[in-house]
Amino acid sequence: MPKEYTNGDVTVVWQPDLCIHSAKCAEGLGSVFNPQARPWVNMSGASSEEIIAQVAKCPSGALSIKNETSKPTTNMSNPTSNVTVLVDGPVRIAGPCEIAHSDGKTETIEKDVFLCRCGQSSNKPFCDGTHKKHGFTG
């Protein structure tokens, strides 16, 4: 379930199901994104511009900016087909893409998505970084 954090000017949306725990957010802007703190997103830790710039660097798309005036659109009439198997890690599908789940539901992912290859993810079909703990190679 997505969570939202706002400073009144900009709203960050976090989709934990997409997060691969790359830590790029915390490493790039630790004054805002601190996994050790609760809440872990401190919207007063930097300017709106800095937050927007850092969110744009999220490799999985788990972090995004909510546009209050219009909903983001995806051009699924021309979907990407760029799929990369990462060494000792997940499969990366360059976004935007549409995921069809086994229960028949579909969801559109705006950015890159990382799918589990090790079978250990607690958030299948998405990678949650568990492969690192289990020493997955492949």
- pTM, entire model: 0.59
CA pair distance 131, 38, nearest whole angstrom: 26
3-29: average pLDDT: 92
Examine the pLDDT at 18 and tell me if it is beyond 50: yes
Q: For residue 97, what pLDDT band results from cuts at 50, 70 and 90?
A: confident
CA separation, residue 71 to residues 54, 66, 89, 124 (Å): 20, 8, 32, 27
All domains of the chain in start order, with CATH: 3-66 (3.30.70.20), 83-133 (no CATH)
Q: Which residues pair with 66 in a beta bridge?
A: 11
DSSP states of 12-81? EEE-GGG-----HHHHH-TTTB-TTSSSSB-TTSS-HHHHHHHHTT-SSS-EEEE-SSS-----TTS---
pLDDT of residue 53: 92
